[in-house]
């Protein structure tokens, strides 16, 4: 289900980006005929929004289309990232990755080390999934 939601988000970024490109052309055509400052500012604003949307969508789409993931294992700890949307930050070998999936019924925090398996995209190093295991090798939490 999470994968479907993520793919829907990527699709929406592409859709909004292309709609902004279309609106840029419309504003530019109107500006050429009317020479009004607001039309020019609308074209500039919509192209900026399109660039931002494509900067978000392109690397993730590239990674997913080519299956470019890497999986790493090692020691990690998880902390609540205190954001309004919720989520946790996973610290893995001095690198941090944000995840929206919060472990439930697992005591976690900076003082609790887990054996982790983390799946990351190669291009923009965003966290995709993670697994927390006990010292005995039992799975405590998994987003797979």
Distance of CA 69 to the CA centre of its chain: 14
Same domain? 49 vs 61: yes
Same domain? 77 vs 60: no
Q: What angle do CA 60, 130, 58 make, to 5 degrees?
A: 0
Mean pLDDT value across residues 5-12: 85
Q: What is residue 88's predicted lDDT score, i.e. its pLDDT?
A: 81
Same domain? 46 vs 75: no
Same domain? 74 vs 129: yes
Same domain? 55 vs 24: yes
Total domain count for the chain?
2
**Contact assessment for residue 42 and residue 61, using Cβ atoms and an 8 Å cutoff:** no
Domain span at residue 124 reads: 69-142
Mean pLDDT value across residues 45-64: 88
Same domain? 56 vs 79: no
Q: Which of 33, 51, 66 is the last residue of a domain?
A: 66
Q: pTM of the full predicted structure?
A: 0.57
Distance of CA 111 to the CA centre of its chain: 27
Same domain? 55 vs 105: no
- pLDDT per residue over 74-124, tens digit each? 888 888 877 656 678 888 777 787 777 778 778 787 778 888 888 777 665
Average pLDDT, the chain: 83
Q: What is residue 126's predicted lDDT score, i.e. its pLDDT?
A: 64
Q: In the sheet that 95-99 helps form, which strands lie side by side, from edge to edge?
A: 95-99, 88-92, 69-80, 114-121, 127-133, 139-142
Same domain? 136 vs 122: yes
Q: pLDDT tier at 29 (50, 70, 90 boundaries)?
A: very high
Same domain? 53 vs 29: yes
């Amino acid at each position: 289900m999470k994968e479907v939601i993520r793919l829907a988000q990527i699709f929406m970024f592409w859709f909004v980006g292309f709609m902004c490109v279309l609106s840029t052309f419309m504003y530019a055509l109107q500006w050429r005929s009317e020479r009004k400052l607001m039309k020019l500012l609308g074209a500039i604003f919509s192209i900026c929004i399109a660039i931002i949307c494509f900067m978000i969508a392109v690397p993730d789409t590239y990674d997913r289309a080519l299956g470019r993931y890497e999986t790493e294992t090692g020691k990690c700890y998880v902390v609540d990232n205190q954001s309004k949307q919720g989520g946790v930050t996973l610290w893995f070998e001095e690198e941090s990755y944000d995840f929206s999936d919060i472990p439930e019924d697992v005591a976690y925090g900076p003082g609790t080390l887990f054996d982790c398996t983390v799946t990351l995209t190669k291009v923009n190093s965003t966290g995709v999934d993670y697994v927390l295991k006990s010292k005995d090798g039992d799975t405590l939490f998994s987003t797979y």
